[in-house]
Amino acid sequence: MKKPSLREFFNLLEKENKALRIKEEVSVKFEIPFITKKLEPYKAVMFEKVKEAKIPVVAGICGSRERICRALNINEEKLYDKILEALKNPLKTKIVEDGEVKEVKEKPNLKKFPILIHYNCDKYPYVTSAIISAKNPDNEEVENVSIHRLQVLDEKHLAIRIVPRHLYKLCQIAKDKGKNTLDIAISIGNHPAILLAASSPAPFGVSEFDVANRMLNGELKLIECENVNARAPANSEIIFEARILLNKLVEEGPFVDITGTYDAVRLQPLVEVVNVLRRNDCIYQALIPAGFEHKLLMGLAREAKIWEAVRNVVPTVKAVRLTDGGCGWLHVVISLKKQIEGDSKNAILAAFSAHPSVKHVIVVDEDIDVDNLSTVEWALATRFQADEDLIIIKNVRGSSLDPSAEQETGLTCKAGFDATIPLNKPKEKFEKAKIPENQKVKDILSKLNFKI
């Protein structure tokens, strides 16, 4: 790629037959979300003709592990190492005077952008792929970069959902200093590495831009915004220069989050957009809530942290997956080579510690494919006894996204399932029987166009 940008990466995917263009006119209301959700596990997509706007829409850029690895120019077996290395050794990002995103400067009018309405009970369009960057009011060299959903209210106002993490902390610092606003840059249309870094659990005080810069081998460049005190990627497609109005709250929601269910409606801060920077031929980037892209971006860095934590207590860990059925967030399957009894339960506890939102952990032997949930269920059916192999932890912090948890307190009940073969029993009793194969049967099936 010439530069680590959304459009350059889409062009690369297109050349490799991993992206496609849709030329028919489609609407931001349901039509683009529906098509994207069907296509994103297989290909990224660009909608060239949008009914409500003159700006094309790209979606599904991070809709598969393969695409994310391609963006980072690595093989999948190196993915966790790449993420962990970037988190532990961020690389300071260079500030430049100018960038492609400064080609057009204009007054805010959010309604000119193709912002999607995703699901049947949605009442508002939502910006879902934007990264929010803000400087620490106590130390402007420190910043936070994170992804937050943004509810469009009118031409220049949004509601932002802020959970009690790093951006929330910056808002509190600003309030403590007597400020009524916090400057932010809302950047839309970015390279996958920036989205992945912004979704990662970097420590407070570490800029996720620097995490992304390490992933991109020093190729990321930032600009200082012109009307607010914030930084943004120089080759983003669109930047909304904005301020969070700390003392003004509005109802935010309903919104479908990663579980595929509607999150609660809450009072959240109001955001005022004061200026727009964009490329002349800008592309709007969409992300479908509860889609594959959403789950992968939220979950991959947590998978890496779980893998690292489990490896510290059970070095023979083979694979970790936050499952699709577990919303890419609440369920994790871990495969390992058990050396002594108790390894599996230590792995379960390590996983809960590494990712506090995890609700259920299943540990299986190394012969079980963590990407094949039918074999995981088979391991539960044949290698698990609840009175010996189940761990239950009551009244602990869980995920606010889980509709079955206690929403007011955030408490939940967690369970760990040790679905590994007991070491005191013959291993062959637990192995799946196989029918021998030979070239003759392969040839017969090949003539029937049946692959084995």
Structure token digits, residue 40: 């994103």
Return the pLDDT at 81: 96
140 and 278 belong to one structural domain: yes
Return the pLDDT at 140: 82
pLDDT at 205 over 70: yes
Q: Could you tell me which of 411, 414, 422, 430 has the C-alpha nearest to residue 368?
A: 430
- Choosing from 282, 301, 335, the residue where a domain stops is 282
pLDDT at 220 over 70: yes
197 and 300 belong to one structural domain: no
pLDDT digits over 403-412, tens only? 888 877 889 9
Round to whole Å and give the CA distance between 354 and 304: 9
Round to whole Å and give the CA distance between 1 and 327: 32
30 and 78 belong to one structural domain: yes
Residue 119's CATH number: 2.30.110.10
Residue 442 counted as domain residue: no
Residue 369 counted as domain residue: yes
301 and 274 belong to one structural domain: no
Round to whole Å and give the CA distance between 314 and 308: 10
Q: Is there a catalytic annotation at residue 154? A: no
Range 54-76 average pLDDT: 96
217 and 77 belong to one structural domain: yes
Which residue among 210, 257, 365, 402 is the active-site one? Answer: 257
Return the pLDDT at 400: 81
Summary mean pLDDT of the chain: 95
pLDDT at 290 over 70: yes
- Choosing from 282, 303, 337, the residue where a domain stops is 282
263 and 299 belong to one structural domain: no
Longest dimension (CA), the chain: 80
Range 215-220 average pLDDT: 96
Return the pLDDT at 223: 97
Rg, the chain, Cα only: 23
Confidence of residue 450 (pLDDT cuts 50, 70, 90): low
Sorted by sequence, the CB contacts under 8 Å of residue 332 that are 6+ apart come out as 303, 306, 320, 321, 322, 323, 326, 351, 355, 358, 360, 361, 362
pLDDT digits over 100-148, tens only? 999 999 999 999 999 999 999 999 999 999 999 999 998 888 899 999 9
More confident residue, 1 or 241: 241
194 and 101 belong to one structural domain: yes
pLDDT digits over 237-288, tens only? 999 999 999 999 999 999 999 999 999 899 999 999 999 999 999 999 999 9
pLDDT at 316 over 90: yes
Residue 432 counted as domain residue: no
pLDDT digits over 347-397, tens only? 999 999 999 999 999 999 999 999 999 999 999 999 999 999 999 999 998
Q: How far is CA 137 from CA 115, 142, 169, 206, in A?
A: 31, 9, 10, 15
Return the pLDDT at 410: 80
269 and 305 belong to one structural domain: no
Round to whole Å and give the CA distance between 156 and 148: 17
Return the pLDDT at 407: 74
pLDDT at 1 over 60: no
Pairing of strands 126-127, 150-152: antiparallel
pLDDT at 2 over 70: no
| CA dihedral sign, ordered 234, 240, 245, 246 | negative
pLDDT digits over 422-443, tens only? 999 999 999 999 999 999 998 8
Count of structural domains, the chain:
2
Residue 330 counted as domain residue: yes
More confident residue, 197 or 451: 197
pLDDT digits over 157-192, tens only? 999 999 999 999 999 999 999 999 999 999 999 999
Confidence of residue 452 (pLDDT cuts 50, 70, 90): low
Is the N-terminal amide bond of 436 cis, ω within 30° of 0?
no
24 by DSSP, 3-state: which?
Answer: coil
Q: Could you tell me which of 102, 137, 328 has the C-alpha nearest to residue 221?
A: 102
b/e burial code for range 410-425 (CB count within 10 A of at least 16 → b): eebebebbbbbbbeee
57 and 116 belong to one structural domain: yes
> Whole domain around residue 375: which residue ranges?
293-424
